[in-house]
Structure 1
């Protein structure tokens, strides 16, 4: 070929490999898409882009944003989850599989920190200990817990503290979760506060430390042992769960008993639960202190190192939404001009007051209907209809607003080394025709 001939990368490759150069080529000096670049981008996504004039500078179309095809978990009794890691095993639920109001066991995401323990020979004989800053330490079997304390059944959200981590730039450490490290199962168990009160809390009891039977992959000590403020332990929705969706808890999800601490990082919902200690000072177990499940009080430089000395423990999870009626990359018949959509939204200890959707790259937004939760700490169903002016490539952007008025941001905020709290606006690509 002639020496002065240059082969340019595709738009998809360019945005993945060199976003600054991609912006320079795709956008003109007046911040509008150039004709040739617009045609190339349309070719890359497989169709014309009717609202291309509204595509914000620097935003890569969702159809081009994903780098590489995900790996999927192949496990008996589990849906086709996105594999995040094999040692320890971690897998994410694709958003479109979160359409059930009550998350079935097969669609429940997997989050492990170490080795899965051997199943209990007799689940009802499994023992739970309460000690530390209490007047009467307790050691109770699950059979005794069930006989002694009232059972409650609630739909409760449980979300990994790193859910949304892939939204951070630069990349933070840990599994690169999208939005699918979330579940909303129906849990049956006893209120933790009833058990703590039976042990007689001392005035010095201000914090908890939770313990489980799983060990670190190195076989040196526990896989994780976290704690929380006593206020959250005494919340009426914090449970020692013994059943999930009316059946025994699956071994992968913490059988025969686990804590459910809804609305806060899932690492507090100790699997294979064996002991809770009441403490006068914060717990110092594995997964506490430093940058573990902690976020900056003041913004830090993205990508910088930090020992977390001035961080605070992450507590109530931020507002988030998922679209469950249509998978990313859905193709619709030519001539489709409206689409009924739905999804779920949640906001940690708070509730969701609004969900808004855009199909023109955020130029305009349309309010969706948001249902009330069946009980506190359950996610909420949202639904509505969007319109398409023509065939072509569209993106459905969706954002939720919590009961305190905080809305999902356009980009992940408050970068931190271990990637907690990223909850940017989400988007799904749809091709009409």
Structure 2
């Protein structure tokens, strides 16, 4: 049977997500040094490196907490994957007490010292750099591969700019630093050379996107947001002469504000931040301990109720067995030796009733009048329904066995 794919939940307005790659071998040392310096400067309140016992799948995790100028507390968690030949991938999720404002500092800058040519500023899907221009490859096949990877990226906003003519030094500056700080490490800028326009649009045609000559476009990603308007996120004219690109910057901000589902792996990262958070204040530790006490209390109460119900049922079963023996004695049955009980009272009662039924099969009932139902059997809550017939058969069988001996 076909099943529909699970739709990821929407990204909460209080959450900031980013992902990248560190191409050097000393990423943990860089993180420790930078976080320690920020704590000494009182830029962040505190940080914590989780021990190996708390890390999973070879990942390292760092947690940090800071307070923004508007008295909003932010909790953030960065995880580092295992080292590979291409470096270490990092995933960063931060959550504020109120909806995220893009004018706030980038959480990535709280973990990494963002400098020129830093090894940790690479986007993971295309390998391009944040806060810098990224010329498209010279080979047409590599151009298509890069753009299609960017279109399938669920983490980063990719902006594609066409250089109508070779720009001067002012035009070769990245436009990303002109965006609000909250977008600095979530936007990658690609540059297409003047002669690459046809190749670029051929690669984009399957996604119904087109790059204007001398313009720019914000790529929709995959899946595209529901409110994505291709014309609204396309800029016809880009002047790469140092002029402030107001239209493009506005398009990028509007795209970043669109509601989007959590990216691939984003839900797990957010769950780890919320449920595995270790950097607790004294108040949070006290609240967590109170929650644990309440949980244990509820579990103990449930176990006590279950024990009482089991005890009550066992007592009723013993009362029913005693009633059966009294009924058998009243009918003249010789008491049978009692076997050693095994299992629960319910299992023992079931085996007793089953033995009565098997013994009575195929035997005619006694001609004597049926014994009256005793008061004890009346109180067995329906458990003794039909027991009289089984008792008569049992008595008949025992008399027949005595006669044979």
Report which of the two structures shows the higher radius of gyration computed on alpha carbons. Answer: 2
Query: Greater RCO between the two (CA within 8 Å, min separation 6)?
Result: 1
TM-score (norm. length: structure 1): 0.19
TM-score (norm. length: structure 2): 0.20
